[in-house]
């Protein structure tokens, strides 16, 4: 079953690996070049509009610190428990964009653990449908179902969502606004859906990392979790502080309907 899930997540199940890479790259290009035009807000811009606001005592101030956010899509999976162990050992909090069908449903205890250990639990839709290709009522269902499942398990309704393949548009933005959800894209991707080589995943992340970056990884793939300890260690040596996406935006709070991208 997991193999079928992995293949489906990469895009169209029958597309070969090279075709998937082209499809994913084209999908992201379309979202940022105008075919599905929308505005994005960077973490630094969000913070700049909240300069007078204060942070809770002891919170990381990303206006001063060199912050970066580690995010994981499409879990939980059989690898997530080990990932949570690593994050706990390294004293790092991450943001998890979870899939509902066959993931939240299959690993509810891991969802509870993510929240209990201080990670941000967010949505990656229910069944990874491309939101720009379906009707408004279907978009709402894709967003409402995982939100309800996460709220039942954690006691908190998620306020963040990552659209599958990063594809969004004004219709999706407006529905997210109505549902009280912000959208989060990324600035760093290791394309870990195309390789099991943990050293390559590590190198790709380190090559792209920058201040206020949002790193996209997937804990459903075999090579990803083994790369995480060395990614964390290397970025800490460079002076980065790991934060969740809401912490990256603070003292601003995520605004529903807004698309955040570094």
User: Over the range 10-34, which residues count as b (16 or more CB within 10 Å of their CB) and which as e?
Assistant: bbeeeeeeeebbeebeebbebbeee
The Cα 30–Cα 65 span in angstroms is 33
Among 73, 192, 212, 219, the active-site one is: 73
Residue 73, H or E segment:
strand 67-73
The Cα 136–Cα 143 span in angstroms is 11
Q: Please enumerate in sequence order all residues whose Cβ is within 8 A of that of 191, keeping only pairs 6 or more positions apart, or say none.
A: 21, 24, 204
Is 218 a known active-site residue? yes
Pair 146, 204: CB distance under 8 Å = no
| CA 184 and chain centroid, separation | 7
Is 79 a known active-site residue? no
Report angle CA 262, 80, 191 to the nearest 5 degrees.
45
Among 93, 119, 124, 218, the active-site one is: 218
- Give the catalytic positions in this structure: 73, 218
């Amino acid at each position: 079953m997991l193999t079928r899930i992995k293949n489906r997540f990469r895009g169209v199940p029958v597309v070969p690996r090279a075709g998937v890479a082209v499809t994913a790259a084209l999908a992201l290009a379309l979202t940022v070049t105008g075919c599905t035009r929308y505005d994005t807000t960077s973490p630094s811009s969000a913070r700049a509009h909240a300069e007078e606001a204060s942070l809770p005592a002891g919170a990381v101030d990303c206006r001063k610190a060199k912050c970066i956010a580690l995010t994981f899509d499409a879990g939980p999976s059989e690898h997530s428990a080990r990932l949570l162990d690593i994050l706990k050992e390294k004293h790092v909090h991450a943001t998890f964009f979870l899939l509902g069908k066959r993931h939240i449903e299959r690993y509810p205890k891991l969802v509870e653990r993510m929240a209990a250990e201080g990670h941000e639990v967010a949505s990656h839709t229910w069944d990874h449908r491309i939101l720009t290709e379906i009707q408004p009522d279907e978009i709402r269902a894709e967003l409402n179902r995982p939100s309800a499942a996460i709220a039942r398990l954690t006691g908190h309704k998620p306020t963040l969502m990552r659209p599958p393949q990063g594809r969004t548009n004004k219709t999706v933005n407006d529905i997210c606004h109505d549902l009280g959800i912000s959208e989060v894209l990324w600035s760093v991707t290791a394309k870990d859906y195309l390789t099991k080589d943990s050293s390559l995943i590590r190198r790709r992340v380190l090559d792209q990392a920058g201040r206020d970056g949002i790193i996209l990884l997937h804990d459903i793939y075999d090579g990803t979790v083994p790369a995480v300890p060395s990614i964390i260690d290397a970025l800490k040596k460079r002076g980065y502080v790991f934060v969740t996406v809401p912490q990256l935006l603070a003292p601003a709070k995520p605004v529903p309907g807004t698309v955040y991208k570094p």
